[in-house]
Structure 1
Amino acid sequence: MTLLLVVAVANPLAALFGVHVLGMGQISYRFDGTNVVLVIGGALAIVVGLLALRHMDDRKGVPLAADLIAAVRGERFPKGAAEHVPGLFVAFEGGEGSGKTTQSRLLAIWLRDQGYDVVQTREPGATKVGMRLRAILLDAAERGLSARSEALLYAADRAEHVEKVIRPALYRGSIVVTDRYVDSSLAYQGAGRVLDPEDVSKVNAWATGGLVPHLTVLIDTPPEVGLTRLGGAADRIESEPLEFHHRVRKEFRALAAAAPERYLVVDGTLPQETITRQIHDRVREILPDPVPRESEDATGTMPAIRD
């Protein structure tokens, strides 16, 4: 379109502009209609190119330079592409016995019933390496583990989790539902273990490449209630004193209050059916269309979300 426009107006515009000579001391520059046409054509080409990139960019928000550099280096996921993926990322957070594991499982089942490709996962222990780390982190016999070591082990599990499970699923367009993510480290190691929250945040941002969930569901349950729901022997984290769990809950609530547009906070003392309904209502708002756009254009088919 730009080329046709330039061809159509080039000669008339060049003739109307004529020839002008700009003198700068002993130097002169001859500026005629041809120069004007080339300048305008170049400006239009830039505008059309930017509009085309905006419509066809498969990693919206990622700088073009970063994408090109990643392609030259052979990197599959360029830095900065964390939030700009085809899939949907939902994380469940909460204290011990909050019900987040149950609700994450129920959400995954509901989404599969709608026809979505769902990857249900958890932290720690979603990978082979993660299973070994989980055994160390939750073993009640590991009482000598320092707070910093604990934070680094969780970050190591998360780095493996993101690289091997979450990112590949998101890039192929799946919905990822994870039981715990970065907020758990900020709450448990940052507030619970009283580590510098900035340090914990930086370590996990580096471990995940900056990957942030589209939605974080916080099941807010008082520790006095959640801890009574646990069955079997308590693991290393569950056996911490009540004050520890109160600090964890307070930090979870603070994280949600700082970014309310990205969080859904649900009262964990409500009946399970009520909690599930609230989660479904919120997730509906961000679900991708399960029917390809091409199919809609050809048949007029509209997606149907079932209760």
Structure 2
Amino acid sequence: MPESHPMIGGDGTYSYTKNSYLQREGIKYAKGLIDETIAHKLDIKDLLSNSRSFKIADLGCSVGPNTFICMESVIQAVKHKFQSHERPYFAAGVPGSFHGRLFPESSVHFVHSSHALHWISQVPKEILDKSSPAWNKGRIYYTGAPDEVGKAYAIQFAKDVEIFLDARAKELVVGGMMVLILPGIRNGISHSCAVVNVMLDLLGSCLMDMCKEGLVSEAQVDSFNLPMYVPSPKEMIELVERNGSFKIERMELFDPVPGNEAQILRSGHAWKMHFRAGLEGVFSKHFASETIDELFDRFPNKAAEKLKATSTETTLLFIALKRK
């Protein structure tokens, strides 16, 4: 079974609702891309020739208002394309993981997934194996690790995307569309050049500092790894083409926080809040609550120092696919 890593719910200090600024800015930027995709690439009249309803699925990983912002944007774009403002819409929740099947065959017309697909279904087994060249000793992520570690993450990501695309291909009607938004890196650059990867690597550095001080055991750190992977456009193109069920209608990288607004990304505290809201659920399965508090208390100062010499460009990958 794929691992589940829910965000922090509610509206408390560390909640996802209060600390998902980067995701929300990405969603806002992508609205124009989604509007254009629906306007120019989605044949709604043809899709509805055999159906009385237009079915939309959101496979994001968030809780709170971001999901509603996404769905409102899609619904309004569909209404505008169909030139109908009177038709009602209904919402329903479906239990399960986006890594596998969720809906009946040929039952969905449009799928939206934001900030979800970069979560892999499990940490690669070989990076926890002391006898493997991919053993990720002293780290919790693949940034800066030996090539074998990065390859293990990439292979697991590729497996998960293949299963994801197979599931969506069965659920989407022919001509239906899927929009994916996830963290991405530019083609040809090192994963250690992406600011989000740099910051995640720093979390591991903080844990190792705590290990040296006897606050957490070395075995605990060595047996923990973050289940995420940030792909490039080239990787995604190869995976979609290998699957063969979808045509790529649009793909581009964008910075969700450009210009003067990017100053917030120079704040170690901002990154602390962003990460704690999204990652505490992962850490809490492995470490005691006091360890997590200490980890995130240490992180801002180390992050602030690193950010002085690091680019804060945060790139998101937008992909629009049509079911063949």
- Give the shorter-chain TM-score range: 0.3 to 0.5
Larger RCO, structures 1/2 (Cα 8 Å, 6+ apart): 2
Higher helix share goes to which structure? 1
Normalising by structure 1, what TM-score? 0.33
Greater C-alpha Rg:
1
